[in-house]
């Protein structure tokens, strides 16, 4: 196959024109192209009057590829050379099956690789299966009745299940494409294989994660829901078992390989690990708010006259600013046509997150607007100081919202003017169960509000309308990443042999893709023992 980069087409152009465009790049007739596969698709919106779709394609041609390339004399065309990933097979399966704690992306892909190698992993997930979880979460959003064991943070698929399913990553790793293939095989849209910013959508993810679970089970693995790790058994500095709490009481599972794919919200497990002497340290993370705008405004700002073109879809953004005093703010987990969702996992605390369905057809766009905090910023300097800082903000928001899981919110114009919001403008907040208008300066610490005040006007210069007076900020966004790192060595194990900290909760990933890859690498380490 010949790979051709940077083919530029207007969004209104029929996809069939790709064949003609590729033929022109190779200086051949279009009839010489026997097959064309899209490898990458992105949007170039630098010129608002000329928005383009940029393609990388692989073509199978009639004739000798080397001769065609020589005649084309095109530096953007070359023989396709992909680094393909094949999961390792491992050695003979151990007597004691490996145990994986957590069934988010890290735990799921660790289990999948181990299952494919014949290791029959046991997965422990404190939450419930995706369909049951979906109903529990919907009830919380409608009534404010929180289930601390199964919610937006806990359950099949992890926190990512209710956050749009964004699959973009800044890390170049051959395992990335393999992960995308598994998602596609499990029911995600085929476009995730070539979109520069792939996403699945929360509504589709529910079925995708179930299908991946069924594959793991078919390969000999096991997934136990409603099973929470409460203690680790060790002997001679090595893991020998896990104590698990279920609805039928406590039970011990013998194992020599225990993977901690906990997710970033397993605070009770972090406390248990600290008491058990597992080496941990606080790490930097970010907190702030969710900011909402009309999606049409975002699309108009990004795409100009092309804003309504269906080939482009709802526009997104990614912004950051470094301020003169050395502080910074940035947007994270942007959800085009999405919703701000209640994401609490502990009673008496308010947490926000964002999600989009596959179609991204909601009226609003939202994103986390965050300030990076280091352990020096934490009021508590202990190992779990970041956790306690999160809890402080979440409890303050619970009080300000009315103690019913309503979230405190404020219009950007009022926030910048230091006055409480008393009425909404042209942006209707999407957060359920609902919002309580207030002054966020009374909810969030000055360390965060000061940075946001200075950052908003600067971010508006990068995306016109970002600091629109009617834009709504809903607080707090506290779960951007783990505030803790569970230490591990080059062999991916803790000082306790056989204990494998893994994924976002352990402090080694920052999204679905990076967590999934970390899970795969952990599985490889177990297989290579």
C-alpha span between 358 and 90 (Å, rounded): 37
Location of structure tokens 């008496």 = 348
CA distance 434 to 502: 35
Other C-beta atoms closer than 10 Å to the C-beta of 258 total: 26
What Cα–Cα distance (Å) separates residue 413 from each residue in 150, 311, 425? 37, 34, 10
Neighbours of 383 (CB within 10 A): 19
Q: 65: Cβ–Cβ under 8 A, 6 or more apart, which residues?
A: 1, 2, 79
3-state secondary structure 148-172: CCCCCCCCCCCHHHHCCCECCCCCC
Alpha-carbon span 444 to 206, nearest angstrom: 33
- Tell me the backbone φ, ψ of residue 149, rounded to 5 degrees: -95, -15
Q: With the C-alpha atoms ordered 296, 298, 299, 303, is the resulting torsion angle positive or negative?
A: positive
Residue 181, burial from CB neighbour count under 10 angstroms (0-12, 13-18, 19+): middle
Report yes or no: 267 and 348 within 8 Å, Cβ to Cβ: no
Alpha helices (H) in 418-529, listed in sequence order = 446-462, 512-527
Do 364 and 339 meet the contact criterion of CB atoms below 8 Å apart? yes
Domains of the chain: 2-79 (3.30.70.2700), 99-281+485-527 (3.50.50.60), 284-477 (no CATH)
Structure tokens at 273: 């690990």
Coil, helix or strand at residue 287: strand
Q: Which helix (H) or strand (E) holds 243?
A: strand 238-246
pLDDT along the chain (529 residues), means of 10: 96 89 96 95 94 96 94 95 88 91 98 97 98 96 96 95 83 91 96 94 94 98 98 96 95 97 96 96 97 97 93 95 96 96 97 95 97 96 97 98 98 98 97 97 98 98 97 97 97 97 95 96 95
For the beta sheet containing 435-437, the strands, ordered from the edge strand earlier in sequence to the opposite edge, are 320-322, 328-335, 364-373, 285-294, 472-477, 407-411, 435-437
- Tell me which residue of 162, 254, 159, 252 sits closest to 205, measured CA to CA: 162
> Distance between CA atoms of 39 and 156, rounded to whole angstroms?
30
Are 55 and 40 in contact by the 8 Å Cβ rule? The answer is: yes
- The pair phi, psi for residue 402, each rounded to 5°, is 110, 10
Query: Which residues pair with residue 281 across a beta bridge?
Result: 485
pLDDT at res. 450: 98
Q: Which two tokens stand for residue 25?
A: 């790049």
Q: Distance (Å, rounded) from C-alpha 377 to C-alpha 341?
A: 27
Q: Cβ(25)–Cβ(6) under 8 Å?
A: no
Tracing tokens 């990614």 back to the chain, one arrives at 318
Nearest residue to 34 (alpha-carbon basis) of 12, 67, 1 = 1
| Sign of the dihedral defined by the CA atoms of residues 128, 203, 350, 136, in that order | negative
Among 332, 317, 269, 345, smallest CA distance to 511 is for 332
With residue 61 as reference, give the H or E element that holds it.
Answer: strand 52-61
Tell me the pairing of strands 339-342 and 352-355.
antiparallel
Q: What is the dihedral of CA 328, 333, 337, 338, to 10 degrees?
A: -110
**Residues of 403-414 as b/e, b for ≥16 C-beta within 10 angstroms?**
eebbbbbbbbbb
DSSP element (H, E) containing 354:
strand 352-355
Are 171 and 179 in contact by the 8 Å Cβ rule? The answer is no
Using alpha carbons only, give the angle 446, 447, 452 rounded to the nearest 5 degrees: 85
Record the tokens describing residue 194, joined without a space.
Answer: 């070539």
User: What's the confidence (pLDDT) of residue 295?
Assistant: 97
Residue 259, classified by CB atoms within 10 Å of its CB into exposed (0-12), middle (13-18) or buried (19+), is buried
């Amino acid at each position: 196959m010949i790979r051709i980069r940077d083919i530029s087409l207007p969004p209104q152009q029929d996809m069939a024109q790709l064949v003609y465009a590729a033929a022109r790049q190779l200086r051949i007739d279009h009839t010489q192209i026997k097959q064309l596969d899209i490898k990458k698709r992105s949007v170039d919106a630098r010129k608002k009057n000329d928005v383009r779709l940029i393609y990388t394609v692989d073509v199978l041609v009639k004739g000798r590829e080397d001769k065609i390339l020589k005649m084309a004399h095109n530096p953007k065309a070359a023989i396709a050379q992909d680094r393909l990933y094949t999961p390792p097979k491992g050695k003979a399966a151990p007597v004691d099956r490996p145990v994986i704690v957590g069934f988010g992306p890290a735990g799921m892909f660790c289990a999948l690789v181990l299952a494919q190698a014949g290791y029959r992993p046991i997965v422990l997930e404190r939450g419930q299966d995706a369909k049951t979880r979906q109903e529990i979460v919907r009830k919380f959003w409608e009534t404010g009745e929180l289930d601390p064991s199964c919610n937006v943070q806990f359950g099949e698929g992890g926190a990512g299940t209710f956050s749009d399913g964004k699959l973009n990553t800044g890390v170049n790793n051959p395992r990335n494409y393999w992960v995308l293939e598994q998602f596609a095989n499990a029911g995600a849209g085929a476009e995730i294989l070539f979109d520069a910013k792939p996403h699945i959508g929360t509504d589709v993810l529910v079925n995708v994660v179930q299908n991946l679970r069924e594959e793991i089970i078919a390969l000999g693995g096991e997934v136990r829901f409603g099973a929470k790790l409460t203690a680790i058994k060790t002997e001679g500095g090595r893991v020998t078992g896990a104590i698990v709490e279920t609805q039928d009481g406590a039970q011990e599972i013998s194992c020599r390989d225990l993977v901690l794919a906990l997710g970033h919200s397993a605070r009770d497990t972090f406390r248990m690990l600290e008491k058990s002497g597992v080496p941990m340290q606080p790490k930097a993370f970010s907190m702030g708010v969710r900011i909402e705008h009309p999606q049409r405004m975002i699309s108009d700002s990004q795409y100009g006259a092309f804003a309504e073109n269906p080939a482009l879809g709802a526009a997104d953004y990614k912004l950051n600013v470094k301020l003169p005093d050395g502080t910074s703010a940035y947007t994270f987990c942007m959800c085009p046509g999405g919703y701000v969702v209640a994401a609490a996992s502990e009673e008496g605390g308010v947490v926000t997150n964002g999600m989009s369905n596959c179609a991204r057809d909601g009226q609003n766009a939202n994103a986390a607007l965050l300030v990076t905090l280091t352990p020096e910023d934490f009021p508590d300097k202990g190992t779990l100081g970041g956790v306690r800082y999160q809890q402080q903000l979440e409890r303050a928001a619970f009080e300000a919202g009315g103690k019913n899981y309503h979230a405190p919110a404020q219009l950007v114009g009022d926030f910048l003017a230091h006055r409480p919001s008393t009425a909404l403008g042209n942006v209707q907040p999407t957060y359920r169960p609902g919002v309580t208008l207030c002054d966020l300066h009374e909810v969030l610490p000055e360390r965060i509000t000061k940075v946001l005040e200075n950052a908003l006007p600067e971010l508006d210069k990068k995306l016109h309308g970002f600091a629109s007076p009617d834009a709504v900020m809903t607080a707090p966004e506290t779960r951007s990443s783990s505030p803790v790192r569970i230490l591990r060595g080059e062999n991916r194990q803790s000082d306790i042999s056989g204990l494998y900290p893994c994924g976002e909760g352990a402090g080694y990933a920052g999204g679905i893709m990076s967590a999934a890859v970390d899970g795969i690498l952990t599985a490889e380490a177990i297989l290579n023992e």
